[in-house]
Structure 1
């Protein structure tokens, strides 16, 4: 389906002629931008990929500015001082989002953040040097001079990097798909075509129910949201721009997850402009339109390897320290249910892969079918006193620490479920399958909020997906602390 519209007229110029049938997908009237003509489809250069180039340039400029500041402003051991400052300042800048992708780049916008983090880094470095006896105590004036000596060169070097970035974007814009062919989507597409310094070249819309509007760029609707993956792969698209405030729609949410999984940068243009006033991290603007950069998938964030290392270390230490408890539980289970202390069951983990989960046996099922398809055994009359105690305190799940060490699970994540119920719940609740974007966990956000046993599956899926989308190491720490509190006080009193 093709939507042909008139080009957006510019103030002071006559309206552009209607696009003729048979013209190229990206054709645009020549008078729309005489100062920056759009190259023809056959002469497009390879798109400029700023994901690695720009952060590397900004990082190099900060290193250069800090080295120059340390050499000129520190009396002794400038190399040592530079290393200390870099080890503190660069992680602060990274955590503050000073190296993240942005559409609107400005060295003046970065100046307050650069100065504030430089002050913190200098204070920590000078304090450490004084404690180690490497330097004499510095006066406040000297500290301020060192901050200024770094901030001004860093700001000037960033201005140079941004100028080169805007030039590269104009020469080699990256292809972008726009989700939503409505009025907002077409206005955003027109702004992208007119202002190429943002580095985005719209190639078409995706919309399951496109409407016909009077004005807009001459771009085609390439299909519905279900065509997103095929279009991304076929046209090697790097950016997806989502409009019309459809992020709450289940189909659009699934499309966004597909785009981030395939490595695309996803920009959300909310209908409410007041959304940009929230000042949240990732907020940006495209020619006056508020734009929010969606976070990268949890598995691709810098802290995820740290999470895995902490999982292995903590699970191994837990197995060692809790070995007396594990032995006592094993003896109690052996006495209560007979041979076969460990209970093995098939569960679904990361990307739908099935693994064998270990637990202490609290009940001996009559057959394998009951083990695979019975939902809850908490009130089963066959369960003895030992089994009830283990389930009430969650100690029956301690053998899963070995699953964590093996890599089947994480300490924190969505709880694993049996394949039979994964199939049923996935059919009933569209977002249930999205839980498997990350490894399953020994505990999770849903569990610490009381969603275990006979509770809403829809609520569990919502909490699990909220955990995945907002993942951080600190969130994992909070969930582990709340889990420990629940184990010590199962009744919550």
Structure 2
């Protein structure tokens, strides 16, 4: 369900980007057609002599408008945003993009349009054309998306926590317009209201939230509780977040708890507050991290290929058995996947489920060296290429340990909101091997909440320096 949801979101995102690019370039074609008789002396966009300048100008304008749209949040707008509000955001973002493009044309000769004098009327005309086509295409795109949502595409399955008046108000508000694509599966409540709540059932109490989310394939939880203790509200939020779904708060509930909130938006006229999600909840950040992972992993595998072949030979020479060790570990969304590492123990040793210690008798001599230098983890980059792991993220644990830790450590499963990593913030701070799982979890959760590409690069550099200088404590 999670992967299906992401596929839908990516399709919608790509469609929006394509619509904006098409609108910008159609506006340019119309603008060139008007400008040509005045300034181009009969030459078209792809004539031989001025071709380079015009193509560069087109590229700059497309890049500038796209970046301004991303910065303005045009690709992460709430479902209930009005077309007027969206048009105003489009106005400001488009204006910035057009301004940057024309400013570049004036200041950088290599990007300039040949034989064109950009006077005020031409500038205003270009800006109006780009704005007109962009808004027009957005209106068409939103209309088509609304129709598709009515037919069941790009819908959100919603669980409302709280069945009293605040919860019923949320239900009435988000189901009033089916073009928003919200499908309420039911309520979770410890109290059954005296008045009816339409045909939507109460699926369980607050303790059942996690099970309800899994059974009903919920991807959005709206907490609408009134007069509840803050710890009860917080527990409800954490149960939902542990199930890796988006959480929003109705403001009446928000008065009881003030952490975990980053922004407010409006859905069908109802103000809702977003509970803090990691930066990778943004699809663009997700794509950016994936590009970094693939590029980094491919480079490492290419450079380290001779070394990996040598390590495989040394392992085979020292002991019988395969050079690689494959073991199920828990990754994103709590789903197990096969991790690939160089074998560092005797063939029968991995069946003994316990932490590896400094002088662990199960390790081979080659394995001791590989663990001390972290070279045993080089095959993990194959997992990265396959999309099962990331270069940076919480280290994956065995299935039995995850089952235990999820019961013993509060909010432990939140570390599985991202892909497991070859290295992580905990490992970069020396928490490896037989160290406190509580401490490691705190570092992992900090990373999940504060991800950025620069943070990933910082962790990679710190890990490399620790390995080279011998500060790495892997064993």
TM-score normalised over the length of structure 2:
0.66
Distance 2:456 2:197 in 1: 46
1:98 alignment counterpart? 74
Contact kept in structure 1, 2:322 and 2:343, CA below 8 Å? yes
2:167 alignment counterpart? 185
Distance 1:154 1:207 in 2: 45
Q: 1:317 aligns with which of 280, 288, 299?
A: 299
2:395 alignment counterpart? 415
Contact kept in structure 2, 1:299 and 1:438, CA below 8 Å? no
CA 1:179 to 1:355, structure 2 compared with 1: closer, same or farther past 3 Å? same
Alignment pair present for 1:400 and 2:359: no
Secondary structure at 1:71's aligned position in 2? helix
CA 1:341 to 1:281, structure 2 compared with 1: closer, same or farther past 3 Å? same
2:30 alignment counterpart? 71
Following superposition, the deviation at residue 348 of structure 1 comes to 1.0
CA deviations over 1:425-473 (Å, ceiling 9, x no partner): 3443464455555543211233224432233324434544554566554
Following superposition, the deviation at residue 115 of structure 1 comes to 2.0
CA deviations over 1:309-340 (Å, ceiling 9, x no partner): 544443343233235655776788799x6677
Distance 1:323 1:171 in 2: 52
More helix per residue: 1 or 2? 2
Distance 1:399 1:53 in 2: 35
CA deviations over 1:27-83 (Å, ceiling 9, x no partner): xxxxxxxxxxxxxxxxxxxxxx99977984786366335532563266555574445
Alignment pair present for 1:227 and 2:212: yes
CA 1:204 to 1:438, structure 2 compared with 1: closer, same or farther past 3 Å? closer
Following superposition, the deviation at residue 419 of structure 1 comes to 3.7
CA 1:339 to 1:301, structure 2 compared with 1: closer, same or farther past 3 Å? same
Following superposition, the deviation at residue 219 of structure 1 comes to 6.8
Secondary structure at 2:352's aligned position in 1? helix
CA 1:383 to 1:201, structure 2 compared with 1: closer, same or farther past 3 Å? closer
Taking the TM superposition and a 5 Å limit, the aligned residue runs for 1:274-289 are 283-284=265-266, 287=269, 289=271
2:340 alignment counterpart? 357
Alignment pair present for 1:291 and 2:273: yes
Taking the TM superposition and a 5 Å limit, the aligned residue runs for 1:68-467 are 68-69=27-28, 71-72=30-31, 75=36, 78=45, 80=55, 81-82=57-58, 84-90=60-66, 92-94=68-70, 96-102=72-78, 103-105=80-82, 106=85, 107-123=87-103, 130-131=109-110, 135=114, 145=124, 148-150=127-129, 152-153=131-132, 157=136, 160=139, 176-192=158-174, 196=177, 199=180, 203=184, 205-210=186-191, 212=193, 221-224=201-204, 225=209, 226-231=211-216, 240-244=221-225, 249=234, 252-255=237-240, 258=243, 260=245, 267-270=248-251, 271-272=253-254, 283-284=265-266, 287=269, 289-292=271-274, 301-302=283-284, 304=286, 307-308=289-290, 310-323=292-305, 326=308, 342=323, 344-350=325-331, 352-359=335-342, 361=344, 364-365=345-346, 368-369=348-349, 372-380=352-360, 390-405=370-385, 409-429=389-409, 431-433=411-413, 435-436=415-416, 438-464=418-444, 467=447
CA deviations over 1:257-285 (Å, ceiling 9, x no partner): 6574xxxx764435347999x99577446
Contact kept in structure 2, 1:65 and 1:153, CA below 8 Å? no
CA 1:123 to 1:197, structure 2 compared with 1: closer, same or farther past 3 Å? farther
1:10 alignment counterpart? none
Distance 1:139 1:470 in 2: 44
1:11 alignment counterpart? none
Contact kept in structure 1, 2:187 and 2:202, CA below 8 Å? yes
Following superposition, the deviation at residue 483 of structure 1 comes to 2.2
- In structure 1, runs of 5+ residues without a counterpart are 1-48
Following superposition, the deviation at residue 346 of structure 1 comes to 1.8
1:34 alignment counterpart? none
Contact kept in structure 1, 2:163 and 2:187, CA below 8 Å? yes
Contact kept in structure 2, 1:349 and 1:416, CA below 8 Å? yes
Contact kept in structure 1, 2:150 and 2:179, CA below 8 Å? no
Following superposition, the deviation at residue 415 of structure 1 comes to 1.3
Distance 2:454 2:288 in 1: 12
CA 1:284 to 1:465, structure 2 compared with 1: closer, same or farther past 3 Å? farther
Distance 2:274 2:402 in 1: 33
Contact kept in structure 2, 1:69 and 1:146, CA below 8 Å? no
Q: 2:456 aligns with which of 456, 462, 476?
A: 476
CA deviations over 1:107-156 (Å, ceiling 9, x no partner): 2244323322333344457767x326753587685895366325642575
- In structure 2, runs of 5+ residues without a counterpart are 1-7, 47-54
CA deviations over 1:199-252 (Å, ceiling 9, x no partner): 477757522413648x997575522223344445xxxx8865333488974554
Distance 1:247 1:158 in 2: 46
Distance 1:51 1:343 in 2: 35
CA deviations over 1:356-400 (Å, ceiling 9, x no partner): 532363xx45x7356531213224478799766654443343343
